[in-house]
């Protein structure tokens, strides 16, 4: 049981390049989400999904796309990277077994992205 895995761990991009951050979980969780973490800003929600085929925008969705073709995978795509997207990106998953947002979120180890 690997939990939530993310690849790559580090990435450097040039402005305008595109890339996909991978996220996978093996806990059969329905809910998956992407956050970015910047100094002094905590974690800000980018996109989330409550199940395969269902995605929605979070607090800071601009410049990012997601898809959810399977329960396990939730990739995050940067369409045209900008220096403002330099950040640490975390993927998280949780069960929807209980009502509300009380369910524990399990986080991956993060991807540290630098855009030059």
Partner 1 sequence: TQLLEQSPQFLSIQEGENLTVYCNSSSVFSSLQWYRQEPGEGPVLLVTVVTGGEVKKLKRLTFQFGDARKDSSLHITAAQPGDTGLYLCAGGRAGRRALTFGSGTRLQVQP
List of residues contacting partner 1 (CB under 8 A): 4, 31, 33, 35, 40-45, 48, 50, 58, 90, 92, 94, 96, 100-102, 104-105, 107-110
Nearer to partner 1, 85 or 110 (CB): 110
- Quote the distance between the C-alpha of residue 83 and its chain's center: 18
Do 17 and 81 touch, CB atoms closer than 8 A?
yes
Shortest approach of partner 1 to residue 48 CB, angstroms? 6
- What is the three-state SS of 60-113? CCCCEEECCCCCCECCEEECCCCHHHCEEEEEEEECCCCCCCCCCCEECCCEEE
Shortest approach of partner 1 to residue 16 CB, angstroms? 29
Nearer to partner 1, 96 or 116 (CB): 96
Nearer to partner 1, 92 or 113 (CB): 92
Shortest approach of partner 1 to residue 104 CB, angstroms? 5
């Amino acid at each position: 049981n690997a939990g939530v895995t993310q690849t790559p761990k580090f990435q450097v991009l040039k402005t305008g390049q595109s890339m996909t951050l991978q996220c996978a979980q093996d806990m059969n969780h329905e809910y998956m989400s992407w956050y970015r973490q910047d100094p002094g800003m905590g974690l800000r929600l980018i996109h989330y999904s409550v199940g395969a085929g269902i995605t929605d925008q979070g607090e800071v969705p601009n410049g990012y796309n997601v898809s959810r073709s399977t329960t396990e995978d939730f990739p995050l795509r940067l369409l045209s990277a900008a220096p403002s997207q330099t950040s640490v990106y975390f993927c998280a998953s949780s069960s929807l077994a209980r009502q509300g947002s009380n369910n524990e979120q399990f986080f991956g180890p993060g991807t540290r992205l630098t855009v030059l």
